[in-house]
Structure 1
């Protein structure tokens, strides 16, 4: 790989089992880098997953040898057991991204008429990070008691399941089933 080239990363949007579960097809949009037939990739997020081997690449009902950032593809994988993959995980160059169970972030709460509601320490919110949807508990910074609609603030979030995260990654969150705000990951926590 060229030193200037970014590692491969694809957000998994759907999973299909083929050949009685011996082959998985994971579909999604490639966010960065490239993947070639024969490459090893790692499933990251939710639970530990093995490294798998890309046996074929489907791009719009055509088989191709390589796919790049921006393409919607299906990757056929050997070496990943059925049930090892699910929507919301990422496929990546092995070792290039990790799953985290928590993070620090700066968030902005929407106006009340758009769904924004008070965010309190201990509040349980539903976080949306690309294709991943996961519940998390919020803790406000020491000097803040409440974040009201239209306010911004620093928080830490403990997720119910670890997801693949990177600093600078944006996300949205919901409160009581309604869009409530958005934020940016500022620091990764273990």
Structure 2
């Protein structure tokens, strides 16, 4: 797109959109360039690889690196599992808390109440072996003594004894309006959408607070949620609710509630975990 006037219009529209969503649209730095010219696949009078360098410099100076929770016990939510012939099972995912080191003992928890004991044999990312995996890193972890069939998407690889799994929790819940992509109709206690916590998705039943007969888009309230299978959750953990392929709500866990006898009884009847078999 070589038309300077058209480029100016596009920049103005982008700045307006940023301002609309409470970003500093007027103060944002805009760098014009051409990816094809930077790669040498096209020639341009104004653009080359120089603009890519300017973009990286602007990112280095303008974007703050978020603080990572390195001091917490490690937790990696499992995204996928593989068997490597002659070596064992590999799980992939993003490190959420703590640091993962080869040689450390670990547990796989979630979807059942019994943890699987294992150990970390190696940590890799993009075909590079790491001495340590830190929060925010997408890594592959080779596990000792387990196979792919033992593992499921939505479980978590954690430091032994540092995390527990629960069925029930209390949270601050927000229901999306229809114009935000939420439900058109209200729902009542017992509504059971899919609850997404990190890579896990399990069916959950919502119990509305006493005195609230139904929930509609735009409501913000405290609710009790019961998961179909236990997950490693904690106060401050975020989740999303989805129904029919679209997000209908989300919230933050404010209190962990004890398991009930009916939860454990229903879990004992299941032969396979409730999450991780299909990608939504």
CA contact (8 A) 1:16 1:24 kept: yes
Q: Partners in 2 of 1:60 and 1:40 — Cα distance? A: 23
Q: Partners in 2 of 1:149 and 1:109 — Cα distance? A: 5
Aligned match of 1:25 = 90
Aligned match of 1:62 = 128
Aligned match of 1:7 = 73
Question: Over aligned residue pairs, what C-alpha RMSD do you find?
Answer: 1.6
Can you list the C-alpha shifts for 1:12-59, whole angstroms capped at 9, x where unaligned?
Answer: 111101227x61100011112111110011111002231111111112
Match among 150, 165, 169 for residue 218 of structure 2: 150
TM-score, normalised to structure 1's length?
0.91
Q: Which sections of structure 1, spanning at least 5 residues, go unmatched? A: none
Match among 86, 95, 98 for residue 161 of structure 2: 95
Larger Rg computed on CA atoms: 2
Deviation at 1:184? 0.8
TM-score, normalised to structure 2's length?
0.63
Aligned match of 1:169 = 237
Can you list the C-alpha shifts for 1:156-181, whole angstroms capped at 9, x where unaligned?
Answer: 11111111111111111013332111
Aligned match of 1:124 = 192
Indicate the SS of the match to 2:77: strand
Indicate the SS of the match to 1:159: strand
Aligned match of 1:160 = 228
Q: Partners in 2 of 1:159 and 1:165 — Cα distance? A: 11
Q: Which sections of structure 2, spanning at least 5 residues, go unmatched? A: 1-69, 260-280
CA contact (8 A) 2:175 2:217 kept: yes
CA contact (8 A) 2:83 2:147 kept: no
| Aligned pairs (5 A) from 1:99-114 | 99-114=165-180
Match among 99, 106, 111 for residue 41 of structure 1: 106
CA contact (8 A) 2:182 2:248 kept: yes
How many residues are aligned here? 186
Q: Partners in 2 of 1:180 and 1:82 — Cα distance? A: 33
Q: Partners in 2 of 1:178 and 1:65 — Cα distance? A: 39
Aligned match of 1:141 = 209
CA contact (8 A) 2:155 2:231 kept: yes
Q: Which has the higher contact order (CA 8 A, sep 6+)?
A: 1
Q: Partners in 2 of 1:125 and 1:115 — Cα distance? A: 15
